[in-house]
Amino acid sequence: MTTPEQARLAIIKHFLGLWTETPVIVQGEHGEPDNTQAWVEFGVIQENERPLTIIGGGGHGQALQQGYAYAKIYTPYDSGIEESDRLTDLAEAIFKDVTVADTDIRFKRVYSREQGVQGGNTFLVLMRAEFDFFEIFVEAS
């Protein structure tokens, strides 16, 4: 049984366990990026909760949880598009066709989009990896 918070933490752990290329600032944490080198902002957004089934009596149910993990990949403007492409390919590979270990979190679709120059000195690519998982719940009486 995966709760939304367990899913968020498992996805963050999955990414941090495999990403070794640059410093990472996780959504909600404080950190000052060094714009003279590549770095990543990483986060998890859960979009909705849809009850699917009532299982037996007593308010037991199952909900399909959906959302996406994102990596905002910043590279110094003068490092060239090849560095952005390389880091984007690595980030995508972490999630493409993956089920996170010891969970039922499945990544379904991974894509990236160039966002261009930010603040005059960094180039941004946004990678997004859509996921879903089933949460089993018991409604409070």
Tokens of 134: 């089933």
H helices then E strands: how many in the chain?
2, 5
Give the Cα separation of 72 and 114 in Å (integer).
Answer: 10
Question: Mean pLDDT throughout 104-128?
Answer: 92
- Categorize the per-residue pLDDT at 14 as very low, low, confident or very high, splitting at 50, 70 and 90: very high
> What whole-number percentage of the chain has pLDDT above 70?
87
pLDDT of residue 55: 56
Helix (H/G/I), strand (E/B), else coil: 91: helix
CATH 3.40.50.300 matches 4-138: no
More confident call, 102 vs 57: 102
Query: Taking every pair of C-alpha atoms in the chain, what is the biggest distance, in angstroms?
Result: 62
Mean pLDDT, the chain, whole residue set: 87
pLDDT tens digits, one per residue of 26-77: 998 888 788 889 999 999 999 866 555 555 556 667 778 899 999 999 999 8
Helix, strand, or coil here: 128?
strand
pLDDT on residue 24: 95
Task: Give residue limits of the domains in the chain.
Answer: 4-138
